[in-house]
């Protein structure tokens, strides 16, 4: 992330990610970039994977027109790679929802519509999968090695001020493009190293709020949890992270009374949102980037800083590949979030 919103093209993060190819298997990688669609900054940029463009696109077009206006749509430019088999056609829509269609009283009517739309299209399994749905951002992912995926989308052609990237070693759904990270809903995108042992609890919890899990993998639930906690329940990022990876009771018991009270309340209220198992997660929206690990830090997380740039990675090597003159490298304690904010 660049805290002054100065943009970087995708070549740096491509290079960084390739340092960690031991952590992948060549069956899934992806990128998300913020600030890449300044011309359509007020539109929701919907990135869609079509199985069969002739059949499936009509359905999505019709749904979108029903819910709002398509300002512009086009194929996402791709470039054949010898080691990457293109099984979907990536497409992008710049979409403006009709706020009058939202339920009355909604604080974020446009977000409500787009979120409902994403859930509906993805759950319908109509040969179209919406993989990102925020404004001025886009997810680029596929089944393949990070370099091949980057070259397939030619991500060096995009200029973003925050980038997340992920290299996958799939065990559950190898090769499935929908299973590659980042996962996105509206403004928030998530990359995740680990396995969520509480997934069943989290999924049942989030589905009771109207989300539908459709990606066959645990990480998508994190994107929805962040959306619920922050957008719908109004928690700030520190509190949302604390709800997802709360302190142990032992620590809470030792806190001063007032602090103990709200920490207790947070754990009780969001018991089913709490994530268990080993994980390191980096999430971002237009203004924020946050990295946090499980409460025992069973996955690595390294933080680097250099002037206005903040880097969070599984490995220091990746940070150094992107920023050889990095000024500080730190390893946050278990459960301790690292939050970067862009200047207003």
Partner 1 sequence: MTIGSLPPRYRISIDPVRCMECERCIENCSYGVFRRDGDRILVNSRNCTACHRCIACCPRDAISLEEHPCDYRSHPLWTREAREAIYNQARTGKIILAGMGNALDYPVIFDRLVLDACQVTNPSLDPLREPIELRTHIGKKPTRLDLRRREGGDVELQTPLTPNLQVETPIMVGHMSYGAISLNAQVAMARAVTKAGTFMGTGEGGLHSALYPYQDHMIVQVASGRFGVNIDYLERGAAIEIKVGQGAKPGIGGHLPGEKVCADISRTRMIPPGSDAISPAPHHDIYSIEDLAQLVRALKEATEWKKPVFVKIAAVHNAAAIAAGIARSPADAVVIDGFRGGTGAAPRVFRDHVGIPIEAAVASVDKKLREQGIRNEISVIASGGIRGSADVAKAIALGADAVYIGTAALVAMGCRVCGNCYRGLCPWGIATQRPDLVQRLNPDAASEQVANLIHAWTLELAELLGAAGINSIESLRGNRDRLRGYMLDESLMQVLDVRQVGA
Output the CA–CA distances (angstroms, integers) from residue 5 to 2, 134, 162, in the order listed.
Answer: 5, 17, 8
Return the SS3 of 318. helix
Choice between 184 and 202, CB closer to partner 1: 202
Rounded to 5°, the CA angle 230-236-237 comes to: 85
Choice between 234 and 300, CB closer to partner 1: 234
Q: How far is the CB of 289 from partner 1 (least distance, A)?
A: 19
Contact 181, 31 (CB under 8 A): no
DSSP, residue by residue, 195-223:
--TTHHHHHHHHHTTT----SSSTTHHHH
Choice between 275 and 322, CB closer to partner 1: 275
Contact 278, 298 (CB under 8 A): yes
**Listed residue (238, 223, 212, 213) closest to 181, CA to CA:** 223
Residue 126 exposed, middle or buried by CB count within 10 Å (0-12, 13-18, 19+): middle
Can you read off the two tokens belonging to residue 91? 């497409």
Q: How far is the CB of 249 from partner 1 (least distance, A)?
A: 5
Q: How far is the CB of 270 from partner 1 (least distance, A)?
A: 8
Q: How far is the CB of 334 from partner 1 (least distance, A)?
A: 11
Choice between 253 and 327, CB closer to partner 1: 253
Choice between 173 and 272, CB closer to partner 1: 272
Cis peptide before 182 (omega within 30 of 0): yes
Q: How far is it, in rounded angstroms, from Cα 140 to Cα 37? A: 14
Positive/negative CA dihedral, 146, 149, 155, 161: negative
CB atoms within 10 A of CB 103: 9
Output the CA–CA distances (angstroms, integers) from residue 333 to 264, 290, 336, 341, in the order listed.
Answer: 21, 14, 5, 20
- Name the residues that contact partner 1, by CB under 8 A: 171, 194-195, 197-201, 203-205, 207-209, 233-236, 239, 248-250, 258-259, 261-262, 264-269, 271-272, 274-278, 295-296, 298
Choice between 79 and 169, CB closer to partner 1: 169
Choice between 44 and 199, CB closer to partner 1: 199
Choice between 73 and 176, CB closer to partner 1: 176
Can you read off the two tokens belonging to residue 136? 């001025």
Q: How far is the CB of 248 from partner 1 (least distance, A)?
A: 5
Separation of CA 319 from chain center: 19
Q: How far is the CB of 298 from partner 1 (least distance, A)?
A: 6
302-307 contact pairs (CB < 8 A, 24+): 302/329, 302/330, 302/331, 303/329, 303/330, 303/331, 303/332, 303/338, 304/328, 304/329, 304/330
Q: How far is the CB of 197 from partner 1 (least distance, A)?
A: 4
Q: How far is the CB of 212 from partner 1 (least distance, A)?
A: 13
Choice between 79 and 249, CB closer to partner 1: 249
Q: How far is the CB of 69 from partner 1 (least distance, A)?
A: 32
């Amino acid at each position: 992330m660049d805290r002054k919103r100065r943009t970087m093209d995708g070549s740096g993060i491509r290079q960084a990610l390739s340092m960690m190819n031991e952590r992948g298997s060549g069956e899934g990688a992806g990128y998300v970039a913020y600030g890449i669609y300044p011309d359509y900054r007020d539109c929701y940029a919907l990135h869609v994977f079509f199985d069969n463009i002739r059949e499936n696109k009509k359905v999505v077009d019709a749904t979108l027109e029903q819910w709002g206006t398509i300002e512009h749509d086009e194929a996402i430019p791709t470039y054949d790679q010898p080691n990457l088999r293109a099984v979907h056609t990536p497409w992008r829509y710049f979409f403006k929802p009709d706020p009058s269609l939202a339920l009355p009283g909604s604080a974020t009517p446009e977000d409500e519509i787009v979120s409902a739309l994403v859930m509906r299209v993805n759950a319908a399994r109509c040969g179209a999968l919406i993989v990102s749905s925020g404004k001025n951002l886009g997810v680029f992912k596929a089944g393949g090695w990070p370099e091949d995926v980057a070259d397939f989308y030619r991500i060096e052609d995009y200029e973003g001020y925050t980038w997340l990237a992920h290299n996958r070693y799939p065990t559950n759904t190898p090769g499935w493009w929908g299973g590659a990270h980042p996962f996105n809903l509206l403004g928030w995108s998530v990359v995740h190293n680990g396995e969520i042992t509480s997934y069943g609890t989290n999924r049942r919890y989030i589905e009771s709020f109207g989300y539908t899990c459709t990606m066959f993998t645990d990480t998508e639930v994190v994107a929805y949890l962040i959306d619920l906690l922050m957008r719908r329940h109004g928690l700030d990022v520190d509190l949302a992270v604390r709800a997802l990876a709360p302190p142990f009771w032992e620590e809470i018991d030792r806190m001063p009374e007032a602090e103990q009270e709200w920490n207790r309340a947070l754990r009780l209220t969001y018991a089913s949102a709490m994530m268990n198992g080993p994980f390191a997660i980096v999430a971002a929206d237009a203004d924020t980037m946050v990295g946090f690990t499980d409460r025992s830090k069973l996955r690595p997380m390294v933080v680097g800083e250099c002037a206005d740039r903040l880097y969070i990675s599984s490995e220091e090597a990746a940070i150094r590949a992107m920023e050889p003159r990095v000024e500080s490298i730190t390893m946050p304690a278990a459960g301790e979030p690292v939050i970067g904010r862009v200047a207003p």
